[in-house]
Homo-oligomer: A and B are copies of this chain.
């Protein structure tokens, strides 16, 4: 593997190597990051005294670092000062796959598992950046148009960050894949696509007269795939990826 390959892929170990169906495994930054940036929802998993917890929460990526809102992980935070081992997982369901036998029923999907040590963001500058990014990563330039955060709100907001030590992506995207001899059977098989889409935006009923939807929200239109809107917003906010 050349140096540039190394630089653009996550290292593998027993922890993140895709074991079953390893032909579906990817470790390069481009694949892993695209799956992450296509989602706003992740599942953060951590353990306290051997008891695992799995918390769904919003997150975003900066380089090879993930950030999420700390309140959802308050239980975890109470137990950690020096950092806590976590696994952050993102999954997209792309289709249901109905095959000619039970064994080949499946789904098309894209998923990432990322491993690292989560820590509370305490550096004031990093926290200030996170306060902006938690809005602007999803809705570019929106923070500038908002009522500024007050001291109490800033104090009440905590962020967790995790440098990705290892990560893997797993992708299935082949629809129906039956055993060759089963194609001769008179059994119906199909793929049912699944899409997560935006509905028509619902303006707040208490908007002041004359306040209209800003152009910065143009990426969020009825019927658009949520993941396309999210990736579009991401590249506006982080043009270099």
Asked if A208 lies at the interface with its beta carbon under 8 angstroms from chain B, I say yes
Across the interface, do B182 and A203 meet the contact criterion of CB distance under 8 Å?
no
Asked if A195 lies at the interface with its beta carbon under 8 angstroms from chain B, I say yes
For A91, give the chain B residue with the smallest CB separation.
B56
Please pick, from B44, B88, B194, B207, the residue contacting A226 in the complex, using a CB distance under 8 A. Answer: B194
Q: Which residues of B contact A203 (CB under 8 A)?
A: 188-190
Across the interface, do A52 and B52 meet the contact criterion of CB distance under 8 Å?
yes
Give a binary string over A57-95; 1 marks a CB under 8 Å from any B CB, 0 the rest.
010000000000001101100000000011111010101
Asked if A54 lies at the interface with its beta carbon under 8 angstroms from chain B, I say yes
Across the interface, do B58 and A107 meet the contact criterion of CB distance under 8 Å?
yes
Q: How far is the CA of A52 from the CA of B138 in the complex (A)?
A: 28
Q: Which residues of B contact A121 (CB under 8 A)?
A: none
Q: How far is the CA of A134 from the CA of B149 in the complex (A)?
A: 49
Q: Which residues of B contact A47 (CB under 8 A)?
A: 47, 50, 52
Question: Min CB distance, A38 to chain B, in Å?
Answer: 13
Please pick, from B103, B135, B193, the residue contacting A157 in the complex, using a CB distance under 8 A. Answer: B103
Asked if A187 lies at the interface with its beta carbon under 8 angstroms from chain B, I say yes
Q: Which residues of B contact A45 (CB under 8 A)?
A: 43, 45, 52-54, 87
For A53, give the chain B residue with the smallest CB separation.
B87
Q: Which residues of B contact A88 (CB under 8 A)?
A: 54
Q: How far is the CA of A131 from the CA of B101 in the complex (A)?
A: 11
Q: Which residues of B contact A19 (CB under 8 A)?
A: 74-75
Across the interface, do A41 and B220 meet the contact criterion of CB distance under 8 Å?
no
Across the interface, do A52 and B187 meet the contact criterion of CB distance under 8 Å?
no
Across the interface, do B193 and A101 meet the contact criterion of CB distance under 8 Å?
no
Across the interface, do B202 and A186 meet the contact criterion of CB distance under 8 Å?
no
Interface-side segment among A2-10, A25-33, A140-148? A140-148
Give a binary string over A194-211; 1 marks a CB under 8 Å from any B CB, 0 the rest.
111111111110111011
Q: How far is the CA of A74 from the CA of B15 in the complex (A)?
A: 13
Name A163-183 residues within 8 Å CB distance of B.
175-176, 178, 182-183
Known: A87-B52, A146-B187. A135 touches B102 (CB 8 A): yes
